[in-house]
Amino acid sequence: MAEKPKSRRNSLAAGRKELREVVETCDAISERKFNPFFMDVKLGVNTLRQYFPYWENFDDHCLDAHAINRLSEVVRLQNTQLKFQSSALYADPDFIVRKVERMSEKRLAEVFLQSWHPVAELEHLTEGAVTDALGYWNQLLPIEERWKRREYARGKEPSSVDAKALAGLGIQGEEFGKQLIRLWNELRGQYGDKHAPVEYWAFVKGASYSDTVQRAYVVSFLVTYGYAKLRQEGEQMTLVPEDQPSEKAPSGGVSFPIPIPRES
C-alpha cells in the first residue's frame, strides 16, 4: 500500500519531465533546428494520453494543453513540408550545400543571373528630401568655421611610444598588472565577509577626475577578464569580486559603456 503513492509521485514527475521534453522538441522544430518529421507525433500524443490521469493541478493541465498546441504546430509544419516537397521548388538541402561547395563562383553567379529580373526604378528628389536638404544647408557653418573646429578637434598628431612609456602610463606591463591586482584586492576587502555588493561609483571615485577615470579604466579590465562582476539594478551599478577569476574574456559578452561625468 505504501508503494502506490510513491509510484504515482514518480509518474507525475516523469510525466512532467516528458511533456517538457515534448514541448522543447516541438519548439526546436518551430525554430527550424530540426526537420518536422523528427518528431513522432503519434508517440507524443500517446505520451500525453499516458500521463493525463496523473495530472493534479492547474499547471499540469496547462502544460498538457501547451504540449497539444505545440504538437499541432508540428503537424502543421509536417503538412507544409509535404506540400513543399511535392512542389517544383523542392531540393534536398544537403544536395544544395554540396552543389554550392563544388560550383565555381562564376557558375553560381550565372545561375542566379539566369533567374534574376531586377526592378527598374529611378531615384529622384522629393519635396521632403529638398526640405531636409535646405534645412541642413541653412544650418551648415561656413567652410572656414568648420576647418577651425577640425583643427581644434584634431589635437596632437599620432606618434609612436615604446613599451617603457606604456608601462609608465600604466597601460601595459607589470605595472598595470599590479594595478589590477591592487584594485581587485581593494574590491575584495570592501566586499568583505558580509558579501555586500560594492557600489560602482563609490568604488571608482578617486581624489581627482583623472584618478576616477584611471580607476574606472582598471575596473573595466577587472570586469572584462572575470575578476569582478558588474551588476545593474535600475540606475544603481554594483561590483562583486570573483574569488577565482577566469582571466579570460567571457564569450558572448557585451560592451557596456559608462560615461564618467566631470562631477564624479
Partner 1 sequence: MESGQTQTKSFYSDKLKRAIHLLVFRRGKMPGAKEWELKEKIGRNYEQVLAQLNELLAELDLEVKKVTEPRSEEMSTDAARVGEDEARYFVALKGTMGVKEAKMIGWRIDNLAALSAALAFLISKQGKAPREDVEKLLAQKFGRWKAVTLADIFLRTGYLDEDDAGIMSLGWRTRSEVDLRALMTRMAEAKL
Residues forming the site for partner 1 (CB under 8 A): 31-33, 80-81, 83-84, 87-93, 95-97, 99-103, 105-124, 126
Q: From the CB of 37, what's the least distance to partner 1, in Å?
A: 13
Q: In Å, how far are 22, 83, 138, 235 from 228, measured between CA atoms? A: 39, 54, 50, 19
Nearer to partner 1, 80 or 232 (CB): 80
Nearer to partner 1, 76 or 164 (CB): 76
Nearer to partner 1, 123 or 193 (CB): 123
Nearer to partner 1, 118 or 261 (CB): 118
Q: From the CB of 138, what's the least distance to partner 1, in Å?
A: 25
Nearer to partner 1, 112 or 152 (CB): 112
Q: In Å, how far are 54, 94, 109, 115 from 106, measured between CA atoms? A: 62, 21, 5, 15
Residue 137 is placed in which grid cell? Answer: 544647408
Q: Contact, 203 vs 216, CB < 8 A? A: no
Q: From the CB of 119, what's the least distance to partner 1, in Å?
A: 5
Three-state SS annotation for 16-48 = HHHHHHHHHHHHHHHCCCCCHHHCCHHHHHHHH
Q: Alpha-carbon distance 231 to 211, whole Å? A: 22
Q: Alpha-carbon distance 44 to 21, whole Å? A: 10
Q: From the CB of 111, what's the least distance to partner 1, in Å?
A: 5
Q: Alpha-carbon distance 56 to 5, whole Å? A: 13
Q: From the CB of 110, what's the least distance to partner 1, in Å?
A: 7
Backbone angles phi, psi at 198, to 5 degrees: -95, 130
Q: Alpha-carbon distance 91 to 233, whole Å? A: 51
Nearer to partner 1, 207 or 254 (CB): 254
Q: From the CB of 251, what's the least distance to partner 1, in Å?
A: 15
